[in-house]
Amino acid sequence: MAQRGLLYRVGQDRYVVAPIEASALSQAAPPELLIDLALGSHPYYIGFLSALIAHRLTDLHSASASAAVPADVRPRGRTSIALKIARLSPRAWPAPDEIERFRVLEGTKEFAHRSAVERALVDGLLRPDLCAGFETVVLAWGRAGRRADVSWDRVAQAARGIGDATARRAAFMLGLLSLETIVERHFADLEGRAANTPLDRSNGFNLDRSEIERDPRTGILLNVPRRHLRGWVEAGADA
């Protein structure tokens, strides 16, 4: 089968049987398996835009994939797909229940790791540049707002675990979704007076300082026009 180009070795004693029409490993194995092969010797998880797509929080598709590893890890594995890697500090690394293990090939023992839906939402605030921009992130939050399988308490807990800036962004987004009970439960101690945290870390709108509104409750600087935020949330909810 190897001579006929139907068998690809993907690791020690690990092989993929390719369909007849396949001409490369990327056509023979799902990208999640290729990522696990490249990063699986270290802690990692598939996240950001890849997770938003997997959790059906966006209708976008991407030829590349995104994953996270600890800040001190320098992966040496290679993949046959484009892979964007974020290196996260120990504090920003997800808690165990924020990562899910899933089977990448039906009927096999091949698994990979991906951010849970709640962590995927928070990661969008942490790295919007790896999520196709802040509009995609807000649309995803809007779509998640009408889903029963999202735990907003877990979203808040994940944001608080990362740090103050991410917690403030999450508190603002929860308020935008009218989830006031969650905000009061997890972010009642936030004082907006002394904070100046930009909502969009990627600063995609590049607004002049005089155009930026400040949210007094969270200390968030709205470097995205509020009308755009509301429109994106509504569009996400209607998708």
pLDDT, tens digit, 9 for 90 and up, residues 14-70 = 555 554 444 444 555 788 988 888 898 899 999 999 999 999 999 999 989 999 999
Report pLDDT for 132.
97
Rounded Cα gap, residues 224 and 204, in angstroms: 8
pTM of full prediction above 0.75: yes
Beta bridge partners of 222: 213
* DSSP structure string for 138-177: HHHHHHHTT-TT--HHHHHHHHHHH-HHHHHHHHHHHHHT
| 98-154: pLDDT as tens digits | 999 999 877 778 899 999 999 999 999 999 999 999 999 999 999 999 999 999 999
Q: Domain limits of the chain?
A: 7-238
